[in-house]
């Protein structure tokens, strides 16, 4: 039972304790901090009891380099079921809860789908009372804050902790030591509560921060060598300073390896220490109590590190290897070979010599097994964990884990039949599929309250928020025009809200009555933002030639960050911003088309973009996107997919019907058949309008600031490079079909009720894509863990 007086007293007390201020004299950030701390007081006993309850059985641990959590306040109030009570309590104090939610900084702990998936999974684990703890790094600055200067992406430090972090507790008593060849550092854990929906269980995200053994060298400081005095402190803190530091040089590679080993070793030491307190010195039963999920290859160094720690504890090699294999499972998130991590042997030798010795022994053991099985020499060569002075982390993960899973049905089949076919032949029982999912709490209940209310009214209960299959009941209203019109009214409202937000943030005025065509995701060539851009250029020229061209007004919205060292991705951002400058300043066309590249796309921006979208662009090259989860967020908010037959798009179409989406482009099998003979110049020269659009990269239409980056994009498309074929991601091959799909959208959108039916069928069939379903499968089929609900 929520106690309004108790909450207010706690709020006022926290203002005084933390800031020495009264309500009247405190600023908005201080009020937000005190509100959050007051809520922490409400949950602390349940959090402690959850931890004690979970200790009694097997627990799972989710190791991930990223956790893209988003803002905590609104989501926590929703899950606790006290949003209205807190809103009214704050109103009594003349505080607007919306202001409190808006000023919160997004935690800078992730970048893209990998980290957001991890966040959704933690939400689902807590909601389902599953004993799961997340482990990662507490980045002080996250990846970066994105700005545009003259259309170029500019990175700035993301100081998400500048106003403090009321949602984490520093657990200095659980500090562990991490040893590198060049010295030791402390790993200090910070615990953040993960609040489940309509349950008292509170799970934990444990993030490790790096600290020096000594803050500064007093002797050097006294000798007035001030920089040298804090050098060790700075080098230690670098480990948890920035997510994915640029690794174009050796120093960056060493820092990345330090990051991976640091949080992995700290997490495993933590597990072993707690196990010994509970079960004694015999570590043979370790897998009975621990299931460790490796989220991609970043934490795969955990396999040799657990071996090292077990051997250090006196466990022999054979027993340690059995324990290790029974403990770990590995999620593969990519089909692309270049994205599977490979580390230079020399870096491991220099930084982690003891771990490297373990990897060598694992490598030799695996070679012996392959020879025993009479594998062909060519197969053995392809599967070696250490090859050409590089350590193949994915191969180490597969050999050292009991289960390997893909993240969509198509992805898993490609792994089994193409990319990892030798491994699948060797270990067929290790491979599973676990199609990704999203949490319905954040991605509709929190960010689209109006649609949530309509669904609850029609389903007759709000149980669909935690039992996603119930949303299927919406299908019976498919012919009810009154309901469909209410849906369209909600969509219009969300579009108006987004338009107002974009005007405030980007200083760009967009038409809420236009089609909102949205592509928001990490910037990567295979995601083909450039295909979208070429289409807009082509449409612009067609409008210039024929101003009376019969099209509906369209607003193209992009959101994406390019990795700091990914020059070609940054060139695509600059190109799109150049297109926006041209289109938005041309009075002949800007009542028909507008282009916006939103700044610093993150979870909180996404919460406004997903509900407002009319078109969900999921246009990756077939066979390249493992799953995608943005496609699911759009679907859940009633948005049809414009996409290729790729990743989870395949399953979205299976659930909602291809007639309710807009699928185009070559499929995996076709691309596989043509990849060696593909000539993009054929399409460049023959597809009407395509050459004109592509040539804008080099003919002076757009300015790349003298960098040459547009010329490089052009050359990569038509000539290729020494590391890939021309038009590696088949943009030119799919351009015509993409244009036709866009034209189908224009026609379909004009019949508003027919369009609403497409949207409604997507919404009604989104149930499969709940992360609750995904996590239930992980728990039952991989981790072998059971729900444990606290009693209070």
pLDDT in tens, 181-228: 999 999 999 999 999 999 999 999 999 999 999 887 778 888 888 788
Tokens of 459: 């389903």
Q: 156 near 147, Cβ under 8 Å?
A: yes
Q: Is 418 helix (H, G, I), strand (E, B) or coil?
A: helix
The percent of residues in the chain predicted with pLDDT above 90, rounded, is 93
Q: Which of 363, 392, 491, 527 is catalytic?
A: 527
Residue whose entry in the numeric block shows the structure tokens 């989220």 = 295
Catalytic residue among 37, 522, 757, 768: 522
- Using the predicted structure, report yes or no on whether residue 585 has a pLDDT greater than 80: yes
- Torsion sign, CA atoms 411, 774, 527, 109: negative
pLDDT of residue 221: 81
**Model confidence pTM above 0.85:** yes
Asked whether the beta carbons of 396 and 303 are under 8 A apart, the reply is yes
Q: What whole-number distance in Å separates Cα of residue 433 and Cα of residue 427?
A: 14
* Cβ atoms of 491 and 512 closer than 8 Å: no
State the Cα–Cα distance between residues 696 and 394, nearest whole angstrom: 40
What pLDDT was estimated at residue 792? Answer: 66
Q: Residue 112 in contact with residue 68, Cβ under 8 Å?
A: yes
Is 162 labeled as catalytic in the residue annotation? no
pLDDT at 406 over 90: yes
**Residue 700 — left, alpha, or beta (φ > 0 → left; ψ -120 to 50 → alpha)?**
left
Judge whether residue 366 has pLDDT over 80.
yes
Region 721-741: mean pLDDT is: 95
Measured CA to CA, the distance from residue 329 to residue 124 in angstroms comes to: 19
CA distances 260 to 116, 135, 245, 310, 780, Å, are 19, 11, 12, 19, 28
Residue 333 annotated in active site: yes
534: exposed, middle or buried (Cβ count in 10 Å: 0-12, 13-18, 19+): buried
Give the burial class of 686: count Cβ atoms within 10 A of its Cβ; 0-12 exposed, 13-18 middle, 19 or more buried: exposed
Over residues 160-167, the mean pLDDT reads 95
Phi, psi of 628 (to 5 degrees): 90, 145
Distance, C-alpha 188 to centroid of its chain: 25
- Largest alpha-carbon pair distance within the chain? 82
Q: Identify the CA nearest to 86 among candidates 29, 46, 30, 42.
A: 42
Collapsed DSSP state (helix, strand, coil) of residue 185: strand
Token digits of residue 600: 């610093």
Question: For residue 142, is pLDDT > 90?
Answer: no
- 276-308 residue pLDDT tens: 998 888 999 999 999 999 999 999 999 999 999
Question: What's the rounded mean pLDDT across residues 93-108?
Answer: 95
From residue 163, alpha-carbon distances to 37, 159, 183 in Å are 13, 9, 32
Residues forming beta bridges with residue 330, ordered by sequence position? 294, 404
Once rounded to an integer, what is the mean pLDDT over residues 68-95?
A: 96
- Distance CA(769)–CA(652), nearest Å, equals 9
CA 361/CA 356 separation, integer angstroms: 9
Judge whether residue 576 has pLDDT over 80: yes
- DSSP bridge pairs for 209: 188
User: Using a CB cutoff of 8 Å and minimum separation of 24, what contacts does 280-284 make?
Assistant: 281/313, 283/310, 283/313, 283/315, 283/323, 284/315, 284/319, 284/323
Three-class secondary structure assignment of 43-88: HHHHHHHHHHHHCCCCEEEEECCCCCCCCCHHHHHHHHCCHHHHHH
Decide: 256 and 241 in contact? Cβ < 8 Å.
no
Indicate if the pLDDT at residue 790 is higher than 90: yes
Among this protein's residues, is 71 annotated catalytic?
no
Q: What pLDDT band is residue 231 in, cutting at 50, 70 and 90? A: confident
Of 324, 334, 629, 774, the active-site residue reads 629
Active-site option among 116, 200, 494, 521: 521
3-state per-residue secondary structure call for 217-285: CHHHHHCCCHHHHCHHHHHHHHCCCCCCCCCCCHHHHHHHHHHHHHHHHHHHHHHHHHHHHHHCCCHHH
Residue 645 — very low, low, confident or very high, per pLDDT cuts 50/70/90?
very high
Q: Who's near 528: CB < 8 A, 6+ residues apart? A: 619, 620, 621, 729, 731
Summarize the confidence of residues 150-157 as an average pLDDT.
Answer: 97
Helices 709-718 and 567-584 pack at an angle, to 10 degrees, of: 110
Mean pLDDT across the chain, nearest whole number? 96
Mean pLDDT, rounded, for 575-593: 96
Which residues make Cβ contacts (< 8 Å) with residue 400, sequence separation at least 6? 300, 303, 304, 324, 325, 328, 330, 362
Q: Are 158 and 108 contacting, i.e. CB atoms less than 8 angstroms apart?
A: yes
Task: Mark whether 629 is an active-site residue.
Answer: yes
Q: Which two tokens stand for residue 753?
A: 């009720």
d(CA 512, CA 492): 7
Helices 481-506 and 603-612 meet at what angle, rounded to 10? Answer: 140
| Cα within 13 Å of Cα(580), Cβ side | 23
Domains of the chain and any CATH numbers: 55-70+106-436+776-783 (3.40.50.2000), 511-769 (3.40.50.2000)
Q: What is the pLDDT of residues 40-75, one digit of tens each?
A: 999 999 999 999 999 999 999 999 999 999 999 999
Could you say which DSSP state residue 682 is in? H
Contact 436, 406 (CB under 8 A): no
Number of continuous H segments (helices) and E segments (strands) in the chain: 34, 21
CB atoms within 10 A of CB 66: 26
Contact 542, 640 (CB under 8 A): no
pLDDT of residue 228: 86
The tokens of 692 are what? 């004109």
d(CA 672, CA 461): 47
Structure tokens at 643: 């996409």
Q: Quick one: tokens of 358?
A: 């373990």
SS3 category, 595: strand
Report d(CA 568, CA 471) in Å as an integer: 42
What is the distance between the alpha carbons of residues 406 and 261, in angstroms, rounded to a whole number? 24
CA dihedral angle for residue 39, residue 42, residue 46, residue 48, rounded to 10 degrees: 80
Is 90 exceeded by the pLDDT of residue 317? yes
* Distances, alpha carbon 566 to alpha carbons 563, 572, 600, in Å: 5, 10, 17
pLDDT confidence tier of residue 107, bands split at 50, 70 and 90: very high
pLDDT digits over 605-618, tens only?
999 999 999 999 99
| 256 carries an active-site annotation | no
Question: DSSP labels for 526-587?
Answer: GGTHHHHHHHHHHHHHHHHH-TT-----EEEEEE----TT-HHHHHHHHHHHHHHHHHHT-T
What is the mean pLDDT of the segment spanning 139-157? 95
State residue 246's pLDDT score: 85
Residue 248 has pLDDT above 70, yes or no: yes
Instruction: Mark whether 456 is an active-site residue.
Output: no
337 pLDDT more than 80: no
Q: Which of 363, 392, 524, 633 is catalytic?
A: 633
Residue of 298, 333, 486, 495 with catalytic role: 333
């Amino acid at each position: 039972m929520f106690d309004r007086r108790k909450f207010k007293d706690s709020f006022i007390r926290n203002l005084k304790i933390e800031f020495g201020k009264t309500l009247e004299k405190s600023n908005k950030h201080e009020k937000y901090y005190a509100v959050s701390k007051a809520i922490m007081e409400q949950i602390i006993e349940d959090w402690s009891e959850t931890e004690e309850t979970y200790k009694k059985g097997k627990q799972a641990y989710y190791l991930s380099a990223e956790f893209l959590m988003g803002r905590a306040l609104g989501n926590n109030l929703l899950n606790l079921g006290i949003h209205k009570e807190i809103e009214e309590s704050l109103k009594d104090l003349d505080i607007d809860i919306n202001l409190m939610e808006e000023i919160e900084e997004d935690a800078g702990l992730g970048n893209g789908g990998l980290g957001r998936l991890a966040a959704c999974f933690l939400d689902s684990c807590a909601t389902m009372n599953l004993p799961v703890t997340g482990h990662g790094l507490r980045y002080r600055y996250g990846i970066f804050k994105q700005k545009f200067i003259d259309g170029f992406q500019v990175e700035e430090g993301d100081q998400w902790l500048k106003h403090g972090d009321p949602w984490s507790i520093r657990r200095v008593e659980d500090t562990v030591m991490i040893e590198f060849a060049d010295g030791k550092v402390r790993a200090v854990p910070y615990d953040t509560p993960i609040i489940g929906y309509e349950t008292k269980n509170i799970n934990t995200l444990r993030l490790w921060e790096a600290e020096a053994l000594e803050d500064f060298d007093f002797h050097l400081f006294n000798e007035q060598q001030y920089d040298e005095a804090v050098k060790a402190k700075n080098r230690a803190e670098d480990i948890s300073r920035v997510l994915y530091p640029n690794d174009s040089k050796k120093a960056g590679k060493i820092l990345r390896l330090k990051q991976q080993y640091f949080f992995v070793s700290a997490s495993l030491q933590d597990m072993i220490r707690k196990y010994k307190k509970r079960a004694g010195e015999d570590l043979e039963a370790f897998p009975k109590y621990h299931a460790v999920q490796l989220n991609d290859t970043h934490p795969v160094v955990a396999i040799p590190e657990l071996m090292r720690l077990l051997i250090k504890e006196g466990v022999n090699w054979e027993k340690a290897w059995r324990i290790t294999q029974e403990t770990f499972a590995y999620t593969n998130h990519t089909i692309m070979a270049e994205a599977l991590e490979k580390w230079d042997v020399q870096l491991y030798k220099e930084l982690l010599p003891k771990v490297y010795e373990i990897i060598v022994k694992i490598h030799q053991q695996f070679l012996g097994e392959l020879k025993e099985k009479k594998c062909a020499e060519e197969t053995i060569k392809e599967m070696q964990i250490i090859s050409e002075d590089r350590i193949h982390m994915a191969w180490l993960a597969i050999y050292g884990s009991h289960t390997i899973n893909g993240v969509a049905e198509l992805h898993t089949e490609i792994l089994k039949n193409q990319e990892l076919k030798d491994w699948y032949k060797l270990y067929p029982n290790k491979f599973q599929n676990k199609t990704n999912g999203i949490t319905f709490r954040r991605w509709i209940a929190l960010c689209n309250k109006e649609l949530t209310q309509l669904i609850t009214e029609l389903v007759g209960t709000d149980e669909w928020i935690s039992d996603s299959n119930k949303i299927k009941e919406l299908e019976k209203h498919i012919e009810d025009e009154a309901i469909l019109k209410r849906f369209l009214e909600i969509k219009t409202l969300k579009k108006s809200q987004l338009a107002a937000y974009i005007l405030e943030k980007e200083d760009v005025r967009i038409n809420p009555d236009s089609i909102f065509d949205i592509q928001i995701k990490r910037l990567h060539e295979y995601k083909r933002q450039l295909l979208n851009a070429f289409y807009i250029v082509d449409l612009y020229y067609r409008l210039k030639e024929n101003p009376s061209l019969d099209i509906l007004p369209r607003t193209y919205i992009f959101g994406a960050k390019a990795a700091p060292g990914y020059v070609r991705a940054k060139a695509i951002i600059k190109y799109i911003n150049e297109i926006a400058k041209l289109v938005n300043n041309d009075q002949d066309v800007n009542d028909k088309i507008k282009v916006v590249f939103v700044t610093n796309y993150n979870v909180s921006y996404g919460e406004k973009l997903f509900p407002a979208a009319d078109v969900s662009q999921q246009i990756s090259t077939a066979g390249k996107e493992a799953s995608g989860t943005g496609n699911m967020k759009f679907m859940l908010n009633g948005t049809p997919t414009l996409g290729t037959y790729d990743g989870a798009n395949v399953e979205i179409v299976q659930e909602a019907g291809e007639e309710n989406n807009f699928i185009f482009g070559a499929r995996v099998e076709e691309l596989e058949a043509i990849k060696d003979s593909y000539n993009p110049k054929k399409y460049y020269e023959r597809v009407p309008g395509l050459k004109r659009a592509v040539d804008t990269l080099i003919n002076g239409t757009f300015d790349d600031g003298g960098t040459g980056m547009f010329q490089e994009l052009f050359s990569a498309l038509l000539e290729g490079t020494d590391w890939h074929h021309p038009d590696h991601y088949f943009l030119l091959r799919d351009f015509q079909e993409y244009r036709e799909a866009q034209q189908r959208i224009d026609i379909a959108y004009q019949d508003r009720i027919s369009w609403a039916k497409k949207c409604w069928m997507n919404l009604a069939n989104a149930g499969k894509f709940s992360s609750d379903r995904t996590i239930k499968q992980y728990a039952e089929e991989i981790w072998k863990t059971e729900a444990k609900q606290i009693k209070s």
